[in-house]
Structure 1
């Protein structure tokens, strides 16, 4: 997007891709699929629960979780997001579906409700900068209980986000790539302990691979995140390694370009979903055609804003939150405001004026209230 241009509104949201859209483009910006959990987050605990005692939390929130964290982060950044997921045939499932479809504007036409299936649930307890989670769920519905429309494969989309699992075959990734979608992938902990890149089926179809530093070093048998990124760039066009408090480092294997952006120092309350928000920010910048360093900066900023709030999808920032932070940082900040303004100067031409005070707080939703 040219410097100085503003993001126009589309259906009440800012559209970061307005400058690059064309009539022949697909309606969907990003497609993803996975399991939606109901997340229940307890906050305000002074310490970890002790066995045999009862602990009271000062706060509680509920929200769609699991793959919904990523879908929400993408949608709040203005991307037209399509999610294919099964929803439980219970009140939890109805709540999650309503929040995603009506509250976040996510396209759920590829999703479906499974009769008699209970929604997976995760209870998260945040205390002392840490989190403890307990999850419960039933087996994924068998294929013969999935409607025909949900078996058709991914729709045409600018991009897809996938979560790779060792030895797990996900045929839709190849289908999406063949249709012209740019595939961005992250990865979870390898429970097999092998840490073999060849076991990540679908990696060969990915444009970008975004592991954290520990994952990247284990997969590449290196002892440095930056060295790991260079090794990964031999396997994928773009390797991005997140390094926690050190920021993020990326290597473009096609051009040899690399970029590193330091992390923004913030008081972290809950890191749930921060990785998803980072990926969403990076995808947004990539689809908008920004330079590599600006994409890393956008991803790191959105992740930093998210960890200052509790919950996964609850904490995903939108452009209003980003604009409020940038307005604040231009006036005063305790961590070298000049350097921050220089690093995030690309936001000058992107953000609308923001009259809301910093810090912003989203309302914490809960189940039970009806209009």
Structure 2
């Protein structure tokens, strides 16, 4: 008598052993894990050092005592220890605004107003506002900088990208040419070059009386750079909207901007959710390039922690911590993308 498996187990069995190809892949994966997992577990768990100083650690196994000793530096870099509640609050505020932005129930004008207020509050907190001694951006670093640059620049770049995408599809030749030239120029320039422009060229282009902080200059140029990439994703969504949607909106007497706001853009943005999330993940990883201009993002702070003479050389442990942080954020963003697609799947359009 054949025993019926529960549905989820039957699905798992089919996925792993349903065909010869699936069975071969499963067996090959198990063989690789059999070779990789035992030495990895010995390095990370069984032979690892969890307490003590650098003398208690060996190079043959993980030294998690290093992580315990340098975790604050990896998270906050050179920020004054007695004021590290400020970057911790910045991380909390950014996590809260990102969580609110992820839930459709909060979408509205209030959320649009909350973003600039949150970004300004984070800037003031990192700057040490209302303290006796301001904190220069050279002392900022770690996770707060990574999240602040990522969230702030992506949020600022998105409305610019919407305007660029609409301009590229405009019937006005001059406006369309400008949008095409801007997008192609930015997309054809490496981000490292954009950061060097922020550090070397932008200060010379500004009036002498106007001096922008290094972090602010970098964020301005990153925002303009990312906007070009987001604009192309949004343009793809606009092109996927059937022309009947425009004709129907025009027949109802809607003007151009009301038609875009109420009819076209909501559908286009829903279509490009996977592409936007993919860009957001790539942009998060790209913040590590801030190291080339001396800004200590999370990865650069971890690298500097392993260069401490007291704990010299424990780069593997530092990179494992950074990888886990990136994995949690990126994996969460990917799962959120799938959830939001299913949530909004009911609003299908028809030509």
TM-score by length of 2: 0.27
Determine which structure has the larger strand proportion and give its number: 1
Computing the radius of gyration from Cα coordinates, the structure with the larger value is: 2
Determine which structure has the larger helix proportion and give its number: 2
